[in-house]
């Protein structure tokens, strides 16, 4: 009997739904014992969010400052797992505070030590740099990253901003104003995510997890947008300056967060379209670099 641990943190329930769908093939195998663990915080973040708490989470999210978690149950800590399916969200281009806190915790490092890990993220669209940060944390935990799946909102960048914000602030997954698309990862993609679980299970049973990622990429587990990679990298440099400045000036925190909100609004609605135009113009001159980056980010 092999042991598989499914880890997730979910406010809206979307990531939990993804986790349970991907795990279906494992649950149907009599040779595998599947355990689910939902990361829980001593002081939970609100859902739905309000504007103040949403932006107040920015500095600590980006700087990867952990918060206090509730203890992992002893039965999980006392079990040696043969595989971990690690599901996380992206907050401010970084793994969420709950997931970051887990990966940095003593319990997290104990569970992941010398263990194969498959990461699965559910995000609006930009996840590349967050995954790079997860890679570092997994390496520090002595875990072995063997696969990655990225499930994203398929609608356009600016439209998804509107729909996701409405969802986060209302707590209801609905068509904003009655005609915008539903926010988040589509229900179709969530329901069909068990196909990734099938591939994971096959490689796991054959003890060939080292060959897993190319097979996942073949069936669309990781799709790369060169434009979003550029935006992600650029925004990370800017967020680094903002987050450090705010965190180091706690007396002016409220004011600085308001200024950050204004900056973010302008960046999304004015700067990102300009970046897109520049990307289209420069694309023919960067084809080799883009192909190399795409190959790298589709791997582990």
Report pLDDT for 124. Answer: 92
Taking the C-alpha atoms of residue 58 and residue 257, their distance in angstroms, rounded to an integer, is 9
Taking the C-alpha atoms of residue 165 and residue 174, their distance in angstroms, rounded to an integer, is 11
Report pLDDT for 82. Answer: 98
Report pLDDT for 285. Answer: 86
Across 265-271, average pLDDT = 88
Report pLDDT for 28. Answer: 93
Which is it for the CA torsion 114, 120, 121, 122, positive or negative?
negative
Q: What is the pLDDT of residues 163-221, one digit of tens each?
A: 999 999 999 999 999 889 999 999 999 999 999 999 999 999 999 999 999 999 999 99
pTM (two decimals): 0.94
Q: What is the pLDDT of residues 237-251, one digit of tens each?
A: 999 999 999 999 999
Across 254-271, average pLDDT = 93
CB 172: neighbour CB atoms within 10 A? Answer: 11
């Amino acid at each position: 009997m092999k042991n598989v641990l499914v880890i997730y943190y979910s406010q809206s329930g979307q990531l939990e739904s993804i986790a349970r769908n991907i795990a279906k093939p494992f649950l149907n195998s009599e040779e595998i014992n599947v355990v689910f663990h939902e990361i829980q915080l001593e002081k939970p973040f609100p859902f739905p969010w309000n504007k103040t708490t949403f932006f107040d989470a920015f500095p600590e999210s980006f700087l990867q400052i952990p918060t206090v978690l509730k203890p992992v149950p002893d039965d999980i800590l006392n079990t040696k797992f043969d595989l971990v399916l690690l599901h996380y969200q992206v907050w401010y281009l970084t793994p969420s505070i709950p997931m970051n806190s887990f990966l940095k915790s003593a319990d997290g490092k104990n569970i992941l030590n010398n263990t194969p890990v498959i990461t699965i993220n559910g995000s609006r669209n930009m996840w590349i740099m967050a995954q790079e940060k997860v890679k570092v944390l997994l390496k520090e935990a002595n875990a072995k990253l063997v696969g990655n799946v990225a499930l994203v909102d398929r609608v356009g960048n600016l439209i998804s901003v509107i729909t996701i914000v409405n969802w986060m602030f209302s707590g209801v997954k609905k068509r904003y104003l009655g005609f915008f698309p539903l926010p988040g990862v589509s229900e179709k993609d969530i329901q069909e995510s068990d196909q990734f679980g099938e591939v994971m299970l096959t490689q796991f049973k054959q003890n060939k997890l080292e060959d897993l990622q190319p097979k996942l990429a073949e069936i669309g587990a990781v799709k790369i947008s060169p434009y979003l990679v550029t935006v992600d990298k650029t925004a990370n440099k800017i967020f680094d300056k903002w987050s450090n400045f705010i965190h180091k000036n706690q007396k002016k925190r409220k004011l600085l967060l308001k200024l950050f909100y204004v900056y973010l609004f302008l960046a999304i609605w004015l700067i990102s379209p300009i970046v897109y135009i520049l990307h289209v113009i420069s694309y023919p001159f960067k084809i080799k670099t883009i192909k190399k980056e795409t190959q790298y980010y589709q791997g582990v």
